[in-house]
Amino acid sequence: MINIKIKKQLNIDFLKKVATVLLLMHIALTLHKAFLSPERMLFREGLVLQKMKYGYFSKELTNLCPFSTIVNYFNNYEVFGFRYWFINVWGNILFFLPYGFLGPLVFDKIRNKFGIVLFALAIPMGIEVLQEIFSLGIYDVDDIILNFFGILVGYVFLILFLRRIEDFQ
């Protein structure tokens, strides 16, 4: 009996270490995509030039109205095309799945419904706010909604995965 407990503990420790490495890699990828990619630098350069020319940053693209961008993508699918639509809607969901799957494996405090909801709100809100502060993107509440949904779907996949593992033991 003790041998089985030790073996299970080793498997849990190994899983947690692998999840930690994978989560750190995904955080690095997220930081690159959200703040350091060439597209972000060009965007920032454009805003700086606008401020130098006109004395202000345009906030016209900032979206504080929930679902307006998402509805716009669906209503004007033929204008945006599949690639743009897919990247902006499904890309925002799929890119954040690993946070919902790996986060609870790494952090014990987000293994419950309340913890995962706070985590799922904090990550995308933090990214959007930092992008706005450093002029590296457009603050869009719909990105937060899609990212939040992606993290929750990742968490559901984790629950299903863990149940499947339990069925094999």
* Extents of the domains making up the chain: 2-168
- Give how far Cα 140 sits from Cα of 3, 62, 87, 92, 156, Å: 52, 6, 15, 12, 25
pLDDT at residue 52, as a whole number: 59
The H or E element spanning position 96 is: none
* 3-state SS class at 148: helix
pLDDT at residue 5, as a whole number: 46
Query: Can you tell me the distance from the alpha carbon of 166 to that of 169, in angstroms, rounded to the nearest whole number?
Result: 5
The angle that helices 141-168 and 68-75 make with each other, rounded to 10 degrees, is: 90
| CB 44, CB 135: distance < 8 Å | yes
What's the mean pLDDT in 144-154?
A: 98
What band does 134 get if pLDDT is binned at 50, 70 and 90? confident
pLDDT at residue 135, as a whole number: 75
| CB 136, CB 34: distance < 8 Å | yes
pLDDT digits (tens, 9 = 90+) for 55-112: 555 556 688 999 999 999 999 989 989 998 999 999 999 999 999 999 999 999 999 9
DSSP output for 3-42: HHHHHHHHHHHHHHHHHHHHHHHHHHHHHIIIIISHHHHH
Query: Can you tell me the distance from the alpha carbon of 104 to that of 100, in angstroms, rounded to the nearest whole number?
Result: 7
Report percent pLDDT > 90 for the chain: 57
Of 19-23, 42-46, 70-74, 164-168, minimum mean pLDDT range: 42-46
